[in-house]
Amino acid sequence: MLPHAKKRVLWVDDDPSQLLVGQSILERVGYTFLAAPDGQEALRIVAEKKPDLILLDYSLGDMTGKEVFDLLALQHENIRTGCLPVAMLTGRGATPAEQRALFSNGLAAYLLKPFSEPELLNVIENMILMSEVRATNRLLNQELEDTYSSILLALASLLSAKDNYTGEHSGAVLNFVAEVGMRLGMEEGSVYDLKLAALLHDIGKIGVPEAILRKPSRLEDWEKAIMDQHVVRGYEALKKLPRLKRVSEFVLRHHEWWDGRGYPDNLAGDQIPLEARIIAVVDAYDAMTSDRPYRKGLSQEIAIDRLREAAGTQFDPQVVECFANCLHEGLLGDRNVNLPEL
């Protein structure tokens, strides 16, 4: 018996004699055999019985094997990712272009008829082995991502411990930026980086003395110079992590101004990454509307007016309008969030 016996193999073929031969070979070595005589039945069995591997004849009665494969790949993510491997069995050779299209859509193997019994079993063994490796890799990657997120949240909570306002503030900014980013056409991966940058944008304040960080009155020039270093400190710390290289750039730029009068490098307009322009607007809004020990926060309406007054000088006008629309439509989440999930 083979080491992968007990796995369920679905064989899709409109030739009953081929199914009988297949059943005899596979059951003899311990596989559980599932049979489908046409495409519709194959789709049903895959959905209901969750096979571990599929052998798909190229020419079926109701549709071609390629059409069945395309439908399966559309419906099942584990086929697209190769975790549920599919082999195409064919009596004629497909063109190289057809083969490329099938493989790029997740096809695991291509077996030309007539094939010998050892050849078939060998292909099945390899496909199952590969699918198990892929499934393990996906699990490990997910664990790695989760660990990474936990470390970043722990890092953010350090800032929260040093200065509670800054910690809460980062949490609220994170909630707001995602909606604005999506509205401005950012893709899912970019929105995730934007959220990371929002979470960590003031992390460099860990290096700012508390007397300056918590000073209720206006900062002296020398104090402001120290405070302003938080963007560079945050950037220097985060860029050392390969996964945060892009994010560190957004952190560095979140106090640049649209008209070039910000810091640390007087970048202007599109020179400033969109992510940093979004964080700048949301950051300012959240600071204006937060209650502090020495003053009450502004209302939403007044804060939006202030943002609009600074649109074109401090802020990107497009980002300000998008953010104002989100607020008016009540799309933004709870601002009083400490450290939400990434």
**Chain position whose Cβ is nearest to Fe ion:** 202
- Residue 283 CB, nearest approach to Fe ion (Å): 6
CB 175 within 8 A of CB 333: yes
- Whether the upstream peptide bond of residue 114 has omega within 30° of 0, thus cis, is yes
The conformational region for residue 241 under phi > 0 = left, psi -120 to 50 = alpha, else beta, is beta
Nearer to Fe ion, 168 or 202 (CB): 202
Would you call 292 exposed, middle or buried from its count of C-beta atoms within 10 A (0-12, 13-18, 19+)? exposed
DSSP string, 261-279: --SSS---GGGS-HHHHHH
- Work out how close the CB of 255 gets to Fe ion at its nearest, in angstroms, rounded to a whole number: 6
Could you tell me which of 46, 39, 45 has the C-alpha nearest to residue 83? 46
Question: What burial letters (b/e) apply to 89-125, b meaning 16+ CB within 10 Å?
Answer: bbeeebeeeeeeebeebbbbbbbeeeeeeeebbebbb
Do 198 and 177 contact (CB within 8 A), yes or no? yes
User: 70 with 104: CB under 8 angstroms?
Assistant: no
Q: Residue 124 or residue 159: which is nearer to Fe ion going by CB?
A: 159
Cα 91 from Cα 37, distance rounded (Å): 17
Closest contact distance (angstroms) between CB of 233 and Fe ion is: 11
CB of 138 to Fe ion, least distance (A): 36
3-state secondary structure of 129: helix
- Smaller CB separation from Fe ion, 84 or 303: 303
Minimum CB–partner distance for residue 47 and Fe ion (Å): 51
229 vs 318, beta carbon nearer Fe ion = 229
Between CA 64 and CA 70 the distance in angstroms is: 10
CA atoms within 13 A on the CB side of 206: 18
CB of 234 to Fe ion, least distance (A): 8
Residue numbers annotated as active site: 205
Residues in touch with Fe ion (CB under 5 A): 202
- Choice between 52 and 202, CB closer to Fe ion: 202
Nearer to Fe ion, 76 or 201 (CB): 201
Strand partners, 295: 292
